[in-house]
Amino acid sequence: MSAASPRGRLVLVPTSLDHGCEQQVPLEQVLPLATVQAAAALTHWISENAKSTRAFLKRVDAQVPLAQPIQAQQITELPHAVHKKGDHHGGARFDARALLAPALQGQDIGLISEAGMPAVADPGSSVVRAAHDLGIEVLPLVGPVSILLTLAASGLNGQDFAFVGYLPQDAAARAQRIRELEALALKTGQTQLFIETPYRNPALWQALLQTLKPGTRLAIGQGLTLADAHIQSRAVSAWQQARNADATLARAPAVFAIGP
Protein backbone atom coordinates (compact mmCIF):
# COMPACT_ATOMS: atom_id res chain seq x y z
CA MET A 1 0.00 0.00 0.00
CA SER A 2 1.40 3.38 -0.98
CA ALA A 3 1.72 6.09 1.61
CA ALA A 4 -0.95 8.78 1.58
CA SER A 5 0.00 11.98 -0.22
CA PRO A 6 1.12 14.71 2.15
CA ARG A 7 -1.46 17.36 2.83
CA GLY A 8 -0.96 21.00 2.10
CA ARG A 9 -1.14 23.72 4.73
CA LEU A 10 -3.54 26.58 5.38
CA VAL A 11 -1.36 29.68 5.43
CA LEU A 12 -2.83 32.77 7.13
CA VAL A 13 -1.49 35.68 5.06
CA PRO A 14 -1.73 39.14 6.64
CA THR A 15 -1.91 42.19 4.40
CA SER A 16 -1.22 45.88 4.86
CA LEU A 17 -3.79 48.05 6.65
CA ASP A 18 -4.16 50.59 3.84
CA HIS A 19 -7.19 49.05 2.12
CA GLY A 20 -9.65 51.84 1.36
CA CYS A 21 -7.14 54.54 2.31
CA GLU A 22 -6.08 57.39 0.05
CA GLN A 23 -2.44 56.32 0.20
CA GLN A 24 -0.61 53.01 0.28
CA VAL A 25 2.32 52.13 2.49
CA PRO A 26 5.32 50.38 0.89
CA LEU A 27 4.76 46.69 1.49
CA GLU A 28 8.28 46.14 2.82
CA GLN A 29 7.56 48.55 5.67
CA VAL A 30 4.73 46.49 7.16
CA LEU A 31 5.34 42.88 6.10
CA PRO A 32 8.54 40.91 6.77
CA LEU A 33 10.29 39.55 3.70
CA ALA A 34 9.55 35.99 4.84
CA THR A 35 5.81 36.76 4.78
CA VAL A 36 6.02 38.25 1.28
CA GLN A 37 8.05 35.27 0.06
CA ALA A 38 5.53 32.82 1.50
CA ALA A 39 2.66 34.69 -0.19
CA ALA A 40 4.52 34.73 -3.51
CA ALA A 41 4.94 30.95 -3.39
CA LEU A 42 1.19 30.28 -3.08
CA THR A 43 -1.10 29.58 -6.02
CA HIS A 44 -4.40 28.76 -4.25
CA TRP A 45 -6.33 31.25 -2.13
CA ILE A 46 -9.45 31.58 0.02
CA SER A 47 -10.27 35.26 -0.05
CA GLU A 48 -12.56 37.83 1.47
CA ASN A 49 -12.51 39.68 -1.85
CA ALA A 50 -10.87 38.40 -5.04
CA LYS A 51 -10.27 41.88 -6.47
CA SER A 52 -8.37 43.08 -3.40
CA THR A 53 -6.43 39.80 -3.33
CA ARG A 54 -5.26 40.34 -6.91
CA ALA A 55 -4.24 43.90 -6.01
CA PHE A 56 -2.23 42.55 -3.07
CA LEU A 57 -0.57 39.91 -5.25
CA LYS A 58 0.42 42.62 -7.72
CA ARG A 59 2.23 44.41 -4.88
CA VAL A 60 3.84 41.15 -3.77
CA ASP A 61 5.00 40.44 -7.33
CA ALA A 62 6.76 43.79 -7.44
CA GLN A 63 8.88 42.65 -4.50
CA VAL A 64 9.10 38.87 -4.95
CA PRO A 65 8.12 37.14 -8.23
CA LEU A 66 4.93 35.08 -7.96
CA ALA A 67 5.02 31.33 -8.49
CA GLN A 68 2.27 31.78 -11.09
CA PRO A 69 0.93 34.88 -12.89
CA ILE A 70 -1.98 36.62 -11.20
CA GLN A 71 -4.34 35.44 -13.94
CA ALA A 72 -3.45 31.81 -13.15
CA GLN A 73 -3.94 32.09 -9.38
CA GLN A 74 -6.85 30.04 -8.03
CA ILE A 75 -8.86 32.44 -5.86
CA THR A 76 -12.08 31.32 -4.13
CA GLU A 77 -14.15 33.95 -2.34
CA LEU A 78 -15.84 33.27 0.97
CA PRO A 79 -19.65 33.42 0.66
CA HIS A 80 -21.14 36.90 1.00
CA ALA A 81 -23.18 35.84 4.05
CA VAL A 82 -19.95 35.09 5.92
CA HIS A 83 -18.85 38.69 5.32
CA LYS A 84 -22.12 40.22 6.47
CA LYS A 85 -23.00 38.00 9.42
CA GLY A 86 -19.63 36.57 10.41
CA ASP A 87 -18.46 33.01 10.85
CA HIS A 88 -20.33 32.44 14.11
CA HIS A 89 -23.60 34.34 13.62
CA GLY A 90 -26.43 33.00 15.76
CA GLY A 91 -24.56 29.80 16.50
CA ALA A 92 -24.81 28.74 12.82
CA ARG A 93 -21.28 28.09 11.62
CA PHE A 94 -20.28 28.10 8.00
CA ASP A 95 -18.92 24.71 6.90
CA ALA A 96 -15.73 25.58 5.01
CA ARG A 97 -14.39 22.06 4.50
CA ALA A 98 -15.18 22.02 0.78
CA LEU A 99 -12.95 25.07 0.25
CA LEU A 100 -9.96 23.12 1.54
CA ALA A 101 -10.08 20.32 -1.07
CA PRO A 102 -6.80 21.48 -2.72
CA ALA A 103 -5.00 21.15 0.64
CA LEU A 104 -6.18 17.54 0.93
CA GLN A 105 -4.51 17.01 -2.46
CA GLY A 106 -1.21 18.48 -1.29
CA GLN A 107 -1.58 22.17 -2.22
CA ASP A 108 -0.84 24.94 0.26
CA ILE A 109 -3.73 27.42 0.45
CA GLY A 110 -3.51 31.06 1.51
CA LEU A 111 -6.30 32.58 3.60
CA ILE A 112 -6.44 36.33 3.11
CA SER A 113 -8.66 39.28 4.04
CA GLU A 114 -8.74 42.82 2.67
CA ALA A 115 -6.62 44.25 5.47
CA GLY A 116 -4.66 42.88 8.40
CA MET A 117 -4.76 39.33 9.73
CA PRO A 118 -7.49 37.03 8.39
CA ALA A 119 -9.88 35.63 11.01
CA VAL A 120 -9.08 38.49 13.42
CA ALA A 121 -11.72 41.24 13.10
CA ASP A 122 -12.33 39.73 9.65
CA PRO A 123 -13.93 36.58 8.19
CA GLY A 124 -11.99 33.34 8.07
CA SER A 125 -12.24 31.56 11.41
CA SER A 126 -14.58 28.98 9.87
CA VAL A 127 -11.85 28.08 7.37
CA VAL A 128 -9.26 27.77 10.14
CA ARG A 129 -11.62 25.58 12.17
CA ALA A 130 -12.28 23.35 9.18
CA ALA A 131 -8.54 22.97 8.57
CA HIS A 132 -8.01 21.74 12.12
CA ASP A 133 -10.93 19.33 11.78
CA LEU A 134 -9.43 17.91 8.56
CA GLY A 135 -5.96 17.54 10.02
CA ILE A 136 -4.52 20.33 7.87
CA GLU A 137 -1.65 22.30 9.38
CA VAL A 138 -2.43 25.98 10.03
CA LEU A 139 0.47 28.38 9.60
CA PRO A 140 -0.03 32.05 10.63
CA LEU A 141 2.43 34.51 9.08
CA VAL A 142 3.64 37.72 10.69
CA GLY A 143 1.91 41.02 9.87
CA PRO A 144 -0.03 43.97 11.30
CA VAL A 145 -3.20 43.59 13.41
CA SER A 146 -5.03 46.91 13.81
CA ILE A 147 -6.80 46.16 17.10
CA LEU A 148 -3.56 45.14 18.80
CA LEU A 149 -1.65 48.16 17.48
CA THR A 150 -4.35 50.47 18.83
CA LEU A 151 -4.54 48.66 22.16
CA ALA A 152 -0.79 48.78 22.67
CA ALA A 153 -0.69 52.52 22.02
CA SER A 154 -3.88 53.45 23.91
CA GLY A 155 -2.67 53.37 27.50
CA LEU A 156 -5.67 51.18 28.34
CA ASN A 157 -5.55 47.75 29.95
CA GLY A 158 -3.60 45.41 27.69
CA GLN A 159 -3.79 42.47 30.11
CA ASP A 160 -7.57 42.12 29.95
CA PHE A 161 -9.42 43.23 26.84
CA ALA A 162 -12.20 42.23 24.45
CA PHE A 163 -12.85 42.95 20.80
CA VAL A 164 -16.60 43.23 20.24
CA GLY A 165 -16.73 43.92 16.51
CA TYR A 166 -19.33 46.38 15.22
CA LEU A 167 -21.87 48.25 17.33
CA PRO A 168 -25.55 48.48 16.27
CA GLN A 169 -26.43 50.95 13.52
CA ASP A 170 -29.70 52.05 15.13
CA ALA A 171 -28.99 55.11 17.29
CA ALA A 172 -30.93 53.93 20.36
CA ALA A 173 -29.53 50.41 20.21
CA ARG A 174 -26.04 51.80 19.67
CA ALA A 175 -26.28 54.07 22.71
CA GLN A 176 -27.52 51.16 24.83
CA ARG A 177 -24.63 48.98 23.67
CA ILE A 178 -22.13 51.75 24.45
CA ARG A 179 -23.53 52.03 27.99
CA GLU A 180 -23.28 48.24 28.42
CA LEU A 181 -19.67 48.14 27.28
CA GLU A 182 -18.76 51.13 29.43
CA ALA A 183 -20.34 49.55 32.51
CA LEU A 184 -18.38 46.36 31.89
CA ALA A 185 -15.14 48.27 31.37
CA LEU A 186 -15.57 50.36 34.51
CA LYS A 187 -16.58 47.37 36.64
CA THR A 188 -13.88 44.95 35.53
CA GLY A 189 -11.15 47.17 34.07
CA GLN A 190 -11.42 45.26 30.80
CA THR A 191 -10.69 47.35 27.71
CA GLN A 192 -13.46 47.23 25.08
CA LEU A 193 -12.40 47.56 21.44
CA PHE A 194 -14.69 47.95 18.42
CA ILE A 195 -14.71 49.14 14.82
CA GLU A 196 -17.04 50.68 12.27
CA THR A 197 -17.09 51.21 8.52
CA PRO A 198 -15.42 54.54 7.66
CA TYR A 199 -18.57 56.33 6.48
CA ARG A 200 -20.29 55.55 9.81
CA ASN A 201 -17.32 56.59 11.94
CA PRO A 202 -18.50 60.19 12.53
CA ALA A 203 -21.91 59.02 13.81
CA LEU A 204 -20.27 56.50 16.14
CA TRP A 205 -17.81 59.13 17.36
CA GLN A 206 -20.58 61.57 18.24
CA ALA A 207 -22.53 58.80 19.98
CA LEU A 208 -19.49 57.95 22.10
CA LEU A 209 -18.99 61.57 23.15
CA GLN A 210 -22.68 61.99 23.98
CA THR A 211 -23.16 58.65 25.79
CA LEU A 212 -19.96 57.89 27.71
CA LYS A 213 -19.29 59.30 31.17
CA PRO A 214 -16.86 62.25 31.35
CA GLY A 215 -14.17 60.25 33.17
CA THR A 216 -14.17 57.26 30.84
CA ARG A 217 -11.07 57.03 28.68
CA LEU A 218 -11.64 56.90 24.93
CA ALA A 219 -8.92 56.04 22.41
CA ILE A 220 -9.00 56.05 18.64
CA GLY A 221 -6.44 54.67 16.21
CA GLN A 222 -6.56 55.61 12.54
CA GLY A 223 -4.30 55.38 9.52
CA LEU A 224 -2.33 52.68 11.33
CA THR A 225 1.11 51.98 9.78
CA LEU A 226 0.63 54.85 7.30
CA ALA A 227 2.65 58.05 7.21
CA ASP A 228 -0.24 60.00 8.81
CA ALA A 229 -1.04 57.38 11.44
CA HIS A 230 -2.23 58.68 14.77
CA ILE A 231 -3.56 57.20 17.99
CA GLN A 232 -5.03 59.53 20.59
CA SER A 233 -6.28 58.60 24.05
CA ARG A 234 -7.92 60.90 26.59
CA ALA A 235 -10.88 61.21 28.93
CA VAL A 236 -14.23 61.85 27.28
CA SER A 237 -14.42 65.24 29.00
CA ALA A 238 -11.14 66.23 27.38
CA TRP A 239 -12.40 65.10 23.96
CA GLN A 240 -15.57 67.15 24.47
CA GLN A 241 -13.57 70.25 25.34
CA ALA A 242 -11.17 69.81 22.45
CA ARG A 243 -13.96 69.33 19.89
CA ASN A 244 -11.38 68.27 17.34
CA ALA A 245 -12.51 64.85 16.14
CA ASP A 246 -10.31 64.15 13.19
CA ALA A 247 -11.74 65.21 9.84
CA THR A 248 -10.48 61.96 8.29
CA LEU A 249 -12.87 59.84 10.35
CA ALA A 250 -15.16 59.29 7.38
CA ARG A 251 -12.34 58.49 4.95
CA ALA A 252 -10.29 55.76 6.62
CA PRO A 253 -10.75 52.74 8.92
CA ALA A 254 -10.47 53.34 12.65
CA VAL A 255 -10.32 51.31 15.85
CA PHE A 256 -12.06 52.61 18.99
CA ALA A 257 -11.31 51.60 22.57
CA ILE A 258 -12.81 52.52 25.94
CA GLY A 259 -11.78 51.80 29.49
CA PRO A 260 -11.28 53.33 32.93
| End residue of a domain, out of 74, 107, 140 | 140
pLDDT tens column, 178-222: 999 999 999 999 999 999 988 899 999 999 999 999 999 999 999
150 and 249 share one domain: yes
Q: Is the dihedral of CA 158, 161, 164, 167 positive or negative?
A: negative
48 and 155 share one domain: no
* Structural domains counted in the chain: 2
Q: What is the pLDDT of residue 198?
A: 86
d(CA 122, CA 24): 20
Q: Which domain holds residue 31?
A: 10-140
Amino acid at site 75 = I
155 and 108 share one domain: no
> What is the maximum alpha-carbon separation in the chain?
76
109 and 150 share one domain: no
Residue 4 lies in a domain: no
| End residue of a domain, out of 140, 174, 191 | 140
| End residue of a domain, out of 123, 140, 157 | 140
20 and 130 share one domain: yes
237 and 116 share one domain: no
Length of the chain counted residue by residue: 260
178 and 153 share one domain: yes
Q: What is the pLDDT of residue 1?
A: 35
Residue 205 lies in a domain: yes
Q: What is the pLDDT of residue 2?
A: 40
* Below-50 pLDDT ranges, the chain: 1-2
d(CA 244, CA 201): 14
Residue 2 lies in a domain: no
Nearest-5° Cα angle at 68, 95 to 31: 75
Cβ of 248: how many Cβ atoms within 10 Å? 16
In this prediction the pTM is: 0.89
Residue 255 lies in a domain: yes
d(CA 5, CA 144): 34
129 and 153 share one domain: no
Q: What is the pLDDT of residue 80?
A: 76
Q: What is the pLDDT of residue 7?
A: 92
Residue 3 lies in a domain: no
47 and 122 share one domain: yes
Residue 254 lies in a domain: yes
d(CA 100, CA 108): 9
182 and 237 share one domain: yes
Residue 250 lies in a domain: yes
131 and 253 share one domain: no
Q: What is the CATH number of the domain that holds 250?
A: 3.30.950.10
Q: What is the pLDDT of residue 4?
A: 59
226 and 119 share one domain: no
